[in-house]
Amino acid sequence: MWAGASSKVLLHDASQNLLRCIAASTPHGDTPADRLRAWAEEVAHRGYAVSSSEWGEVLTAVAVPVISRSGKVIASLSLSGPSHRFPYEAVERFATELTKAATLISAQGSNHPLGQGR
């Protein structure tokens, strides 16, 4: 939960206590909870998260939140690929398309029969 675009999206609604627990679990112990909170706030402001070379030296990803009816982040939708085929200039375009898809998923989730009355 401490690296990658999807993780950054999923941290959006995390409590400070949870962020401290996640920070303590990093392999290097050098990702303070404040940095995790800053990433979550950046996602909230920008609407998407980007990671580059966080999981592997040649992988880039962009992720967007899937939002529940109550406004909480319940999932992330992401696109990743080799960095040499994933230019930073394309990130905003990818984020726009992912946001459209996430909006449809959110709308369908709100209308799902198992979600009624919740």
What are 51-85's pLDDT values in tens digits? 887 666 788 899 999 998 888 888 999 999 888 88
Q: What is the pLDDT of residue 55?
A: 61
Q: What is the dihedral of CA 2, 42, 79, 77, to 10 degrees?
A: 90
Q: What CATH architecture does domain 5-115 belong to?
A: 2-Layer Sandwich (3.30)
Domains of the chain: which residue ranges? 5-115
Q: What is the pLDDT of residue 30?
A: 58
Q: Under 8 Å CB-to-CB from 60, ≥6 apart: which residues?
A: 50, 51, 52, 53, 80, 81, 82, 83, 86, 88, 91
Has this prediction a pTM greater than 0.85?
no
Return per-residue pLDDT of the chain as tens, 118 residues. Answer: 667 899 889 888 888 888 888 888 777 665 677 788 888 888 889 999 998 876 667 888 999 999 988 888 889 999 998 888 888 788 899 999 999 999 999 988 755 555 554 4
Q: What is the pLDDT of residue 118?
A: 45
Q: What is the pLDDT of residue 20?
A: 82
Q: What is the pLDDT of residue 117?
A: 47
